[in-house]
Homo-oligomer: A and B are copies of this chain.
Amino acid sequence: METSLLKRFVVGAPMPLSLARHERLSKTVALAVFASDALSSTAYATEEILRVLVLAGSAALGLAIWVAVAIALLLIVVAISYQQTIHAYPNGGGSYIVARVNLGPTPGLVAAASLMIDYVLTVAVSVAAGVAAITSAFPALFPYRVTLGVACIAVIAFGNLRGVRESGRIFAVPTYLFIFTFGALVLTGLIRYALGEVRPLTETVVHPATTLSGFLVLRAFASGCTAMTGMEAISNGVPAFKEPEAHNAAVTSRWMAGILAVLFLGLTLLAQAYRVVPVEHETVVSMLGRALFGRGAFYYLIQAATALILILAANTSFAGFPRLASLLSQDRYAPRQFAKRGDRLVFSNGIVILGAFAALLIIAFRGDTHALIPLYAVGVFISFTLSQAGMVRHWYRERGAGWRWRLLINGAGALLTGVVTIVIAVTKFTHGAWIVVLLVPILVLMFQTVNRHYALVADQLSLEGYGGPPPIRHTVLVPIGDVHRGVVAAVQYAKLLSPEAKAVYVETDPAATRALEEKWIKWGMGVPLVILTSPYRSVLTPLLEYIDHLQEEQGEVRRVVTIVLPEFIPHRWWQHLLHNQTALLIKGALLFRKDVIVTDVPYHLAH
């Protein structure tokens, strides 16, 4: 029943809990699993900077490299900051935990809400950009980008439902292929630049649509900050590393930051050198690849690697989101279903929810990366800020060796990311960031509502100080409309439940009653038959009134009434349509009635 063939085929055989500890990642596999998000953003971050600057004309594009340098510096500060977090919280130092432990529950929930939003956006943006890499190489596929995007999300989600180590293996090849091809692209480009072999891609001069203002440069900076999304993935996922977890995670984190900074700066430099001007239907990376290698095998390899790492980068969120949801769930801020591991030891519900929301975003924004970018990164930077601020408090409380120095590093991180958060929210507010600014408090409110509910339920169900249930009396009733084998079976069952069971018949036609009474003498098994009259032919009202009457009669002791409903189960589903749903009606009417319990006695038909 629980184990359907389809489910087995899609997610594989169930695993016993004893296998859980072995599902750990080596550093190389972990880099592929957790760094794909951060690294892959180099595929679009440079382009997003250029797209903003070009509004002030092609002359303004020269500022891109300075914007990129600023982002790279920020990246290094944040990376160092997070190194400290990994060591301080080896059991998983996600922003939620760090903020909650050090700053209190509400800042923790704000961090969690921000991160959850950005996990969904990471999936949507990465998949959209991955599909853009494909359609740059094969323009004929452009009209199908929404379908392609949704299909990709489905594939990743199913991969994750099968379990984490298998996911790791799937992602190792494309991540390393991406590092290799992008490295080759940057290296080849820079060498040719050094040799003076550079030929500008275009001589087109774009005229300014707006003046070059500080606000525009800040908006370009804000758009480029998408390069930093995904940096927190490793600190959230420390327990997934092989032992020693914290050490391995920190090393992997350094590698990730280094590769990210090199690729991002290199690509921006190349774009500047080749005077790339962003266009509608082709990505900047695709233009650079064509310029350096022509439309040959290596160009297609670059596009393939870009598409693969981007589409699979979404996987970082498929590790992070369900983990965060399960943490919230354990703390009773999210529905408890998120804390439940599936047959394959993964948090299936979180995976499914994440996939569904990301697919909705792809559909709503028609698979357009640039339309999604303004919503992106706000959440990440809120959580960066809260996490660093939490670490400041942490060092101040702990006061271990060198705590002042550590506090200073995290303090600088908190200050910087805090300022950047405001810059991103303000410069992109009207372009879509307002949605996130609105959504964070709504989510926090939802978390708190859920939490309050669980507390109330626990309180109402608690046995602490409970005097035990009051004594009860029991009456069993069998409502019948006819006498047949199904009714006989129900009456036999009712007699098992109580020797004082009664059958109840609602009379709508006195002639029918006489015929029924005769049958009852033969088949009633000695159970008394109560006949209720109904002037309005309603079966329900007299029955409800009779139950009321029985329960009013009781004195001090509560009377529980069990309604035994004879119900024959047709052989095929459509046959249900051919029968009066009186049983359903009775169940519906009694559903919320206190001290009434309804029991179906099914009589299975063979044809």
Contacts and interface: CB of A to CB of B under 8 A. Distances in A.
Could you say how many copies of this chain the assembly holds?
2
- Among A16, A460, A466, A492, max chain B CB count under 10 A is at A460
Contacts of A523: 463, 468
Interface stretch (A160-168, A383-391, A436-444, A577-585): A577-585
Interface string A529-568: 0000001111011001000000000000000101000001
Interface in A478-498: 483-486, 488-489, 492-493, 496-498
A26 interface: no
Contacts of A588: 1
Interface string A590-602: 0010100111111
Given A17-B537, A460-B606, A483-B463, A1 B497 contact: no
Contacts of A403: none
B461 A585 contact: no
Nearest to A459: B607
A49 B293 CA distance: 76
A604 to B, nearest CB: 6
Interface stretch (A208-216, A234-242, A307-315, A449-457): A449-457
A151 interface: no
Contacts of A336: 578-580
A2 interface: yes
A504 to B, nearest CB: 17
A63 interface: no
Contacts of A364: none
Interface stretch (A99-107, A337-345, A414-422): A337-345
A15 B535 CA distance: 9
A433 to B, nearest CB: 29
A17 B496 CA distance: 38
B468 A578 contact: no
Given A580-B340, A604-B594, A485 B472 contact: no
A605 interface: yes
Given A14-B538, A343-B536, A536-B14, A496 B469 contact: no
Contacts of A493: 472, 560, 597
- Among A16, A493, A598, A602, max chain B CB count under 10 A is at A602
Contacts of A453: 570, 575, 578
Contact of A602 (B456, B538, B575, B597): B597
- Among A340, A474, A599, A606, max chain B CB count under 10 A is at A599
A411 B554 CA distance: 72
Contact of A469 (B457, B492, B519): B492
A324 to B, nearest CB: 18
A486 B469 contact: no
A544 B1 contact: yes
Interface in A410-436: none
A508 interface: yes
Contacts of A537: 16-17, 341, 343
A535 B461 contact: no
A74 interface: no
- Among A466, A485, A489, A522, max chain B CB count under 10 A is at A485
B607 A456 contact: yes
Interface residues of A, number: 76
A501 to B, nearest CB: 12
Contacts of A560: 493, 496
A438 to B, nearest CB: 21
A483 B336 CA distance: 18
A62 interface: no
A297 to B, nearest CB: 48
A338 to B, nearest CB: 10
Contacts of A460: 485, 568, 605-607
A569 interface: yes
Nearest to A488: B469
A537 B348 CA distance: 14
A204 interface: no
A336 B570 CA distance: 15
A535 B488 contact: no
A335 interface: yes
B472 A492 contact: yes
A2 B585 contact: yes
A423 B193 CA distance: 88
A462 interface: yes
A141 interface: no
Interface string A305-349: 000000000000000000000000000000111001101000000
Nearest to A468: B488
Interface in A210-254: none
A589 interface: yes
Given A456-B607, A568-B457, A578-B336, A540 B599 contact: no
Contacts of A597: 493, 599-602
Given A2-B540, A457-B570, 14 more contacts: A3-B541, A15-B536, A343-B536, A343-B537, A453-B570, A456-B605, A460-B606, A461-B568, A463-B488, A469-B488, A496-B498, A497-B498, A597-B599, A597-B601
29 contacts: A1-B540, A2-B540, A14-B538, A16-B535, A16-B536, A17-B535, A17-B537, A18-B535, A335-B577, A335-B579, A337-B580, A343-B537, A453-B575, A454-B578, A456-B607, A457-B570, A460-B607, A461-B484, A461-B485, A461-B568, A463-B484, A466-B485, A472-B493, A493-B560, A493-B597, A569-B592, A597-B600, A597-B602, A598-B599
